[in-house]
Structure 1
Amino acid sequence: MLDTARKHISGVVWSVLAVALLAFSGGVTLAQELPGEGKTVRMARATWDTGWFQTEVYTQALEALGYRVDRPITLDNPPFYQSVGQGDVDLWVNGWFPLHNTYREAFEPGATIVGYVAEGGALQGYLIDKKTQQEYGITNLEDFKKPEVKELFDTDGNGKADLVACPPGWGCEKVISHHLDAYELRDHIDPIKAGYAASMADALGRYEQGDPIFFYTWTPNWTVGLLKPGEDVMWLEVPRPDLPPDQKELEDATTLSGVNGCVDDPCEMGWPANDIRPVANKAFLEDNPAVRSLLENMRIPIEDIFAQNALMNEGEDSAADLERHAKEWIEDNQEQFDEWIAQAKEAAM
């Protein structure tokens, strides 16, 4: 009986050893490796801070897949699109299309647009304070050719209305420049191309003193959280649809219905609604099918981006705040987030 027991124990030991040897040699996987283990992702983020929340959410998603994510490098549009096309960085989630169509030659064929962060609903256009709009009946950029209108918004005495515009290199700067030429407004409107946040802070200060303000903005953005369209400011129309060559086919999409705070409905805003989309290096995606799956499936509702941007404007704008905001958003959407992670893991098998 003792011999039988010894033989049984010996058999169990050999079975355990056999499984261990198989596992060591790769024959049995005792624990599934995460697809990103041992790999690093070189993320970039845009210079506009309203896109940093999205970057942090995607960073934490990539980390959930086992990737090490370098601290995102902040880049203007031209250097990012050139870098991602050449493979110097792997991706960002701050593409605005069709606005960024102008950079396609810089990033194709080495990189590609993949998936959506937020599909539709990203608006752009020109606004003035509601008080001035109603008092003077200003409804269209064409009105800025009137001397009495230009004078209202001329803060430096050069005879032109000052427009808070976009810094050089931003996609919106190119479209604004095109509009000023197309509508023959160069002699009437002076675009301020300094840092956008600082220029808007200055405009907000003037507004609080009761002075007229004239600015370009996009949504989601803290500007329309503090200066609410329809209550504090009004969207103006443009004379007619007229876009740069890389967006010419979208001129029919610049007239939008139901725009809250526009001087008319439908509203000829001069800009088509945009999608916020990731752009990634093709070779990187081929080597990392889990990342491709994540980018293809993951979404962040534009209302959630707007809500986080409002928190940033209220002072919650540190790196720790961004990390916490992203973590809280993931926890609030845990079931959907886990599904995206599971799909990404499956794509890597």
Structure 2
Amino acid sequence: MKVLKLTLAVILTVAMASLAFASDMKPGEGVTVKPARATWNTGFFQEAIIHKGLEELGYDVQKPKDLANPIFYKSVTLGDLDYWANGWFPMHDAQLPKNFHEKAALIGYVAKAGGLGGYLVSKRDVDKYNIKSLDDFKRPEVKKAFDSNGDGKADLTACPPGWGCEKVIAHHMKVYGLEDHINPVKASYEAGMAAALGAYKSGKPVFFYTWTPNWTVFKFMPGKDVMWINVPEINPTEAQSSAVERMTIPGVKGAVSDPLKAGFVACDIRVAANKKFLADNPAAAKFLELFTLPLTDISEQNTRMNEGEKSDKDIQRHADEWIAKNKAKWDGWLKAAREAAK
């Protein structure tokens, strides 16, 4: 009996030790990871969380490089960088190098169909001028109301050079004959939207491009402060042509019509990563595959940044707080990643 008890005790001790070891495995030890993140700060949150997850798995994760989309996709294809969590597809398809799918891959879904983009206008001016689509900005009284610099064109807070949306907006200006009627302002998006918010609060009209998830749809509430407006008709870019059905979107809160002819493809937000990195690091690959964030969580964090909590230290704290609130999910991702490395 004593021998049996001793044997059971030994088995239990070994099992507990193995369990403890398994939950603390560092399959990434000795591996340096080179991440990137996009130039829009509303995508920094997901990078911070992934960064912490890979560190938990033992990887030495470098500080991310902030890059314009085409530069990142070229770099990850070459193997100079390992991943980012800011892929918007199919919007970014046109910015991929020809050999992207040979050398790199899209993995998991940070937010499936989470990227809705489009044009919004202050609701009081939508009502005042009966604005339904971009075509209404050809009307003299509408142009005049939204012309802040006196050049005879309505000012649109648009996307900086290098963003996927910049090319789509340029396409819209051309195919809808709006180049003489709308002026897309391509300065810093964050500064442009801060100016728009100030203008709105002082009673002036606002007209801007935005996307979800984003702090803008918390500060400018669709249906209350602003309205999503239509493009005149669906006229896709070459890159959008394979996903035309995702450009007319039903059930959009605060839209001037249902469905909304957004003119932008409702995108999947995904991780893009180097294939060799994924093959050599099954733990990291599994973590990236499982990683996902609710849109409400991203937008809530984005709003905190807009209210002043936007330093790297703040974003790290936001990531820690999210992990603490989602401990069971987090531990499940890490467990699956460690098992993938066995």
- TM-score, normalization: structure 2? 0.91
Aligned residues: 321
The question of 1:94 aligning with 2:86 is answered yes
SS of residue paired to 1:309: helix
Question: For residue 333 of structure 1, what is the aligned residue in structure 2?
Answer: 326
Match for 1:227: what amino acid? F
Q: Given residue 229 of structure 1, which amino acid in structure 2 is its aligned partner? A: P
Equivalent residue in structure 1 for 2:259, among 245, 266, 274: 266
Alignment of 1:195-214 (within 5 A): 195-214=188-207
Please give the alpha-carbon distance, in whole angstroms, between the structure 2 residues aligned to 1:262 and 1:103.
29
Matched, 1:125 2:118: yes
Partner Cα separation in structure 2 for residue 121 and residue 293 of structure 1: 21
Deviation at 1:248, TM superposition (A): 0.5
Which letter maps to 1:265? D
Alpha-carbon distance in 2 for matches of 1:230, 1:193: 26
User: In 1, distance between residues paired with 2:71 and 2:264?
Assistant: 24
Question: Which 4+ stretches in 1 moved above 6 angstroms?
Answer: none
Partner residue in 2 for 1:20: none
In structure 2, the partner of 1:228 is 221
Structure 2: distance between partners of 1:315 and 1:150:
33
**Alignment-derived partner of residue 301 in structure 1:** 294
The partner residue of 2:278 within 281, 285, 310 is 285
Looking at structure 2, the residues matched to 298 and 54 of structure 1 have their Cα atoms a distance apart, in angstroms, of 9
> Which of 28, 31, 44 lines up with 1:36 in the alignment?
28
2:144 matched residue in structure 1: 151
- Distance in structure 2 (CA, Å) of the matches to 1:287 and 1:298: 19
**Structure 1 residue 252, shift from structure 2 partner:** 2.0
* Deviation, structure 1 residue 247: 1.4
- Structure 1 counterpart of 2:103, which letter? G
Residue by residue over 1:59-95, the C-alpha shift from the partner in whole angstroms, topping out at 9 and shown as x without a partner, is 0110111111111111111111111111111100011
Deviation at 1:182, TM superposition (A): 1.4
Structure showing greater radius of gyration is 1
Alignment partners' CA distance in 2, 1:317 and 1:192: 23
The answer on whether the counterparts of 1:90 and 1:284 sit within 8 Å (CA) in structure 2 is: yes
Partner of 1:84: 76
Task: Describe the SS at the equivalent of 1:114.
Answer: strand
Tell which deviates more after alignment, 303-312 or 107-116. 107-116
Q: Report what 2:168 is aligned to.
A: 175
Matching residue of 1:73 = 65
Residue 310 of structure 1 corresponds to 303
Determine the C-alpha separation between the residues in 2 that align with 1:205 and 1:321: 24
Give the drift of 1:185: 0.8
Cα displacement string for residues 72-119 of structure 1 (whole angstroms, at most 9, x for unaligned residues): 111111111111111111100011111111122253322111111111
Q: 1:224 & 1:299 partners in 2: Cα distance?
A: 21
Provide the C-alpha distance between the structure 2 equivalents of 1:310 and 1:197, rounded to a whole number of angstroms.
12
Q: SS of the counterpart of 2:174?
A: helix
Contact between 2:70 and 2:96, CA under 8 Å: does it hold in 1? no
Question: Matches of 2:243 and 2:91 in 1, distance apart?
Answer: 10
Verify the 8 A CA contact 2:137 2:143 in the aligned structure 1: yes
RMSD of aligned Cα (Å): 1.4
d(CA) in 2 for partners of 1:78, 1:120: 22
Q: Which residue of 2 aligns with 1:52?
A: 44
How many angstroms apart in 1 are the aligned matches of 2:182 and 2:269? 29
Shift of 1:31: 5.0
For structure 2, the residue ranges without an aligned partner over 5 or more in a row are 1-17
Q: Equivalents in 2 of 1:31, 1:225: separation in Å?
A: 44
Q: Secondary structure at the match of 1:35?
A: coil
TM-aligned CA deviation for residue 206 of structure 1: 1.3
Unmatched segments (≥5 aa) in structure 1: 1-27
CA contact (8 A) 2:42 2:302 kept: yes
Once the two structures are TM-superposed, the CA of residue 272 in structure 1 deviates from its matched residue by 2.0
Q: Indicate conservation of the 8 Å contact 1:241/1:252, yes or no.
A: no
Helix, strand or coil at the partner of 1:179: helix
- The answer on whether the counterparts of 2:74 and 2:96 sit within 8 Å (CA) in structure 1 is no
- In the alignment, is the contact (CA less than 8 A) between 1:116 and 1:298 conserved in 2? yes
- For 1:322, what is the secondary structure of its paired residue? helix
